[in-house]
Amino acid sequence: MTEGCKFDKEKQNQIVSFSGGKDSTAMLLMMLEKNEPIHSIVFCDTGWEFPEMLDHIDKVEKYIGMEIVRVKPKVDFNYLMLDRKITRGKHAGLKGYGWPSVMRRWCTREKISAIYRYDKTIPNPVACIGMAYDERSRLYSKSSQKYSIRYPLVDYRVTEQEALEYSYSKGFNWKGLYYKFRRVSCFCCPLQRIGELRKLRRYYPALWAIMLKWDNKIPAHNTTAFKDGVTVHDLENRFEYEDRQEVLNF
């Protein structure tokens, strides 16, 4: 068990927080394999997931023969990013949170809140989070927890790579997402590495086009959430230049 996390499985209800990524997938499958009691499985659909991720979640649901509860943020992410009126801080009165960033991870807050709203409808909930053993330094501090949290992969001493290999061994490959990207979350996440954004543009041009469209509407006070303080259009110009250089050097 994770240090400091002790609970009676007969009296508390384990709720799997399921993002659909490699860690939460391995966690869910391993918990079932170990016959751990699971009250429910909950996934937050932000509207920003890769289509392959949504297909994966349907596949997992069919494979395990259990319902995966879909919840949504209270407010649409596009509205929050582009049109929501800001009521506090130096941008009070302006509209749109802008792209999420390291200092403005409003998207993560909204996802956690959506899952928490579900969890609190269940008596004695224990949220099972897919944090891998080699990520344990990122565990939430006990004082910040609103409810009981458990990290089964930490209990099982399963690393990120082991979680991915285990999921592959069970027949789940996300239609190649993890062959292209180190991490798979919202397709438009500004916290991605430049190399992954480059791959997004190359392999998912339709999704990249959506990001360019949003970038045109991003409020002026929050346009540069991407690494090195650039916009999506800055990245488009950079990648287009690289493409031209590649052709010239061929």
pLDDT tens for 94-144 read 888 889 888 788 999 999 999 999 999 999 999 999 999 998 877 755 544
**CATH number of the 13-182 domain:** 3.40.50.620
H/E run at residue 243: helix 232-248
User: Tell me: the pLDDT tens digits for 158-206?
Assistant: 999 999 999 999 999 999 999 999 989 899 999 899 999 999 999 999 9
Q: Over the stretch 54-66, which tens digit does the pLDDT of each residue have? A: 999 999 999 999 9
The tokens describing 127, both together, are 């949220």
Of 52, 49, 48, nearest to 78 (Cα)?
A: 48
Is there a contact between 182 and 193 (Cβ–Cβ < 8 Å)?
yes
Instruction: Tokens for 191, please give them.
Output: 């916290």
Contact 153, 175 (CB under 8 A): no
List pLDDT tens digits, range 1-13: 344 345 555 568 9
Structure tokens at 95: 């509209």
| Residues 6 or more apart whose Cβ sits within 8 Å of residue 208 | 200, 201, 236
pLDDT value of residue 8: 56
Give SS3 for 96. coil
CB count in 10 Å sphere of residue 175: 14
Higher pLDDT, 85 or 203: 203
